[in-house]
Chains A and B, each alone.
Chain A
Amino acid sequence: MASATRPRAPGPSRPLSPHLSIWRWRVNMTVSILHRATGNAMAFGAVVLFLWWLIAAATGPAAYATFYSVATGWFGILVGVGLTWVFFQHLMSGIRHLVMDTGAALEIHASQTFAALTIVGSVVLTALTWAAIYFTKGI
């Protein structure tokens, strides 16, 4: 029987499982890290801009004009394009995770292929979105 004491966190004397510096770099590792990075970028970046946009619209024309001038300036467009890619990368990678949750696409080759395709998909969708904005709005 196991003793009543709970297992402790491994100290420096205990072996650690192999981590980033041990494995050969693969695209699925990049996509895994990007999933977490893009998620956090949206939680603290896109969410704040989303709140600014909504609260400005609820406050009135003057508050909205401030948001609008920043959002349609060159820096606003740059952040907008960046966050669009961040959104689509998290979306594509998230769909991959939902597929893998079913037990599918976990084999090495399928895992790598679909990981690479999330990056292709996010870049293509970002380009299509901004092409639509450019050709319909002329921004």
Chain B
Amino acid sequence: MGTGTEIGRVRGLGASKSGVGHWWLQRVTAVANIALLLWFVISLVRMPGLDYASVVLWLRQPVAAIPMLLLIVSVFYHFRLGVQVFIEDYLHNEGTKLLALLALNFYALGGAAAAVFAVLKIALGA
């Protein structure tokens, strides 16, 4: 695809140069978020309490830890995509936009890594 002609480059990739990948992943993570976050909210409400012992005992179960890890990946990816569009719509200076997108990527990836580590530490800890 795309051997140098204008139409070749446009085909399948478009002005964003990444095709429909962004749009589609926003929908995939949206659908995953509906299931995972409804599970999360219902789980929190149904727990005996939100004290330390209740939360740690809950997260030590694979049936809680595994959906939590999936939730972290899906939620952090979803907001990374959403905030990216927000930045692209309102920041018009190329330098500022670049720095904002860089900061967003570091925030999303760093936050996801910390959250995944926290869940694994609780789930796999003695």
**B66, CB-defined interface residue at 8 Å:** no
Minimum CB–CB distance from A13 to chain B (whole Å) comes to: 17
Interface size class of A (residues with CB under 8 A): 20 to 34
Q: Which of B37, B45, B50, B82 contacts A71 (CB 8 A)?
A: B50
* Complex-state Cα separation, A95 to B27, whole angstroms: 10
Docked-complex contact A42 and B79, CB < 8 angstroms: yes
Nearest residue, chain A, Cβ from B68: A54
B42-79 residues with Cβ-Cβ distance < 8 A to A are 45, 49-52, 55-56, 59, 75-76, 79
**B30, CB-defined interface residue at 8 Å:** yes
Q: Provide the residues of chain A in CB contact with B33, threshold 8 Å.
A: 94
Q: Which of A47, A58, A68 contacts B51 (CB 8 A)?
A: A68
Docked-complex contact B52 and A43, CB < 8 angstroms: no
Interface of A is mostly: helix
**A16, CB-defined interface residue at 8 Å:** no
**B118, CB-defined interface residue at 8 Å:** yes
Docked-complex contact A95 and B52, CB < 8 angstroms: no
* Complex-state Cα separation, A104 to B87, whole angstroms: 29
Docked-complex contact B52 and A65, CB < 8 angstroms: yes
Q: Provide the residues of chain A in CB contact with B86, threshold 8 Å.
A: 36, 39-40
* Complex-state Cα separation, A80 to B84, whole angstroms: 26
Binding site for B on A (CB under 8 A): 9, 36, 39-40, 42-43, 47, 50-51, 53-55, 57-58, 61, 64-65, 68, 71-72, 87, 91, 94-95, 97-98, 101, 129, 132-133, 136-137
5 A-B pairs with the lowest CB-CB distances in the bound complex, closest first: A58-B118, A43-B79, A54-B118, A64-B52, A58-B121
